[in-house]
Structure 1
Amino acid sequence: MTTRPTIVLVHGMWHGGWAWERVAKLLEVDGYPCVRVTLPGRDRAPGDPTFRGHCDHLTEVLAGVPGDVVLVGHSYAGALLTEVGAAANVRALVYVSAFCLEPGESVASVNDAKAGSQAGKDDIRQVGDFLVIDPETARHAFYHDCTPADAASAAARLTPEHANARAAVVSAAAWRSVPSHFVVCTLDRACTPEVQRMMAARVGSSSELESSHSPMLSMPESVARTIAGFATEHAA
């Protein structure tokens, strides 16, 4: 029997490993070990809360996983996949409405270049070194197809994000050398479908879900199925 790869799940800005709970449970039932990463940040996990600190944290997580990995990122986490996703044990990358960047780009430069985002620079507040998104803005931009209870619960768990995470420029493009799949969320209000499709065209494989920015909460079965399918296709 072939050993299934470990699925390492990385959250987006303001979120935590909790965002992947439903998807992880479904994958584990299907025989995939899962690691839900919680990145360093205020009221979240200890460590350097900047983009570089997040990259270093993810690199350490990957180094601690025995065997093959399929690395999955949501939203901002796509920048981390892009920067460090070519680690030796990573067999595939899955971008879920995530920032599949070219070297020299940042989350801010790509998301702010086109009008339409409802979680862009004009929708968030900077308090000191950190960015804050208000719960009502988050419910509208991230969770509009979730149940009201799920949307309220998720919005209440959001934590401040260091401003550097949004502004930092990537220096590598792991998707050039690692098989990658992009999941376009066609009802997304945070990263518009237009911007997503531009990034999806960079990789060799993509699919679409009729979902908000947070399909791991609103349609976890579809997300888990997509991840498992790509993992099966590309993991050794």
Structure 2
Amino acid sequence: MSGSDSQRKSLPTIVLVPGMWHAASAWDAVVKLLEADGFPCVPVTLPGPGRAGGDATFHGHRDHLERVLTGVAGDVVLVGHSYGGAVIGEIRAVPAVRSMIFVAAFCLEVGESVAAVNDAQPGSDAGASAIVRSGDYLSMAPETAKEAFYHDCPPAVAEQAVASLTPEFHDTRTTRATRAAWREVPSHYVVCTQDRAIVPDVQRTLAARLDSVREIDSGHCPMLSQPGRLARIIADVAVRTTRQ
């Protein structure tokens, strides 16, 4: 086996968890780039209407992710976007997880919730006032979502992303974290400096909890607006943290 082949074989698997209302397809461009560099990738679709079957609650999402992780061989780097950060931070002991990357994401302390953190400071275009509740599920008007999440994306990408959004169970915003798994492994934060959903000051406060941080000049979804830049950050952090 050549040195290059050996290096690729030793690369960790990148498991990518999307934010609220999104499915695994949000990661498609980043996955393509990471896999081209030799990283095995597992993009996750969490349970919910129009997505994966199963328990659509916050703890149901955690359980679903843990089941996914049991099927991954070797070292794992967990990446969470937005609400996906709350989910990866809630997992119980999974020895294969060597590091975590939070992309404009909620790395919650025990007792915190997504709603409590995001609604505590004004300025979010994706806060409580922007969300519509219908029965047990939450959604956003398409134009609201476009401005909050995709304002810096190419128009065709933004239109496709909005059309792909699905409802989210109401407790995903309000359930309090019972774990802070990011304390147990090297963890990194990617601050999105043009974000309109989780304002940059909130992100920087969260980022200060972790081991390292980088900033990217993007809106809330750099996996759609700047997939190349985000893929390079993920690859760099993944290699650095799994070789420690």
- Which residue matches 2:153? 146
- Which residue matches 1:56? 63
Gaps in structure 1 of 5+ consecutive residues: none
Selected match of 1:159 from 163, 166, 172: 166
Paired residues for 1:78-93 under 5 Å: 78-84=85-91, 86-93=93-100
Selected match of 1:38 from 37, 45, 49: 45
- Which residue matches 1:213? 220
Distance across 1 between alignment mates of 2:98 and 2:211: 14
Per-residue deviation at 1:43?
Answer: 1.0
- Which residue matches 1:102? 109
- Which residue matches 2:11? 4
Tell me the matched-pair count. Answer: 236
Alignment check: 8 A CA contact 1:124 1:132 kept: yes
Distance across 2 between alignment mates of 1:209 and 1:107: 22
Q: Which amino acid letter does the alignment assign opposite residue 79 of structure 1?
A: A
C-alpha RMSD of matched pairs (Å): 0.8
Distance across 2 between alignment mates of 1:134 and 1:64: 36
Distance across 1 between alignment mates of 2:147 and 2:58: 26
TM-score under structure 1 normalisation?
Answer: 0.99
Q: Which amino acid letter does the alignment assign opposite residue 197 of structure 1?
A: R
1:101-147: per-residue Cα shift (whole Å, max 9, x none)?
Answer: 10000000000000000000000100000001111001000000001
- Indicate whether 1:226 and 2:233 are aligned: yes
Q: Which amino acid letter does the alignment assign opposite residue 63 of structure 1?
A: T
TM-score under structure 2 normalisation?
Answer: 0.95
Per-residue deviation at 1:81?
Answer: 1.3
Alignment check: 8 A CA contact 1:86 1:177 kept: no
Distance across 2 between alignment mates of 1:131 and 1:121: 10
Q: Which amino acid letter does the alignment assign opposite residue 156 of structure 2?
A: A
Per-residue deviation at 1:85?
Answer: 6.6
- Indicate whether 1:171 and 2:144 are aligned: no
Alignment check: 8 A CA contact 1:23 1:223 kept: yes
Per-residue deviation at 1:37?
Answer: 0.3
SS in 2 for 1:70: strand
Q: Percent identity?
A: 58
Per-residue deviation at 1:86?
Answer: 4.6
Alignment check: 8 A CA contact 1:71 1:85 kept: no
- Residue 80 to residue 125, structure 1, CA distance change in 2 (3 Å): same
- Which residue matches 1:128? 135
Runs of 4+ in 1 over 2 A off after TM superposition: none
Distance across 2 between alignment mates of 1:90 and 1:226: 18
Per-residue deviation at 1:230?
Answer: 0.6
- Which residue matches 2:242? 235
Selected match of 2:76 from 69, 76, 92: 69
Per-residue deviation at 1:216?
Answer: 0.2
- Which residue matches 2:188? 181
1:173-203: per-residue Cα shift (whole Å, max 9, x none)?
Answer: 1111110000000000000000000000000
Gaps in structure 2 of 5+ consecutive residues: 1-5
Selected match of 1:198 from 199, 205, 214: 205
1:41-100: per-residue Cα shift (whole Å, max 9, x none)?
Answer: 011110000001000000000111000000000000110111117511000100000001
Alignment check: 8 A CA contact 1:85 1:93 kept: no
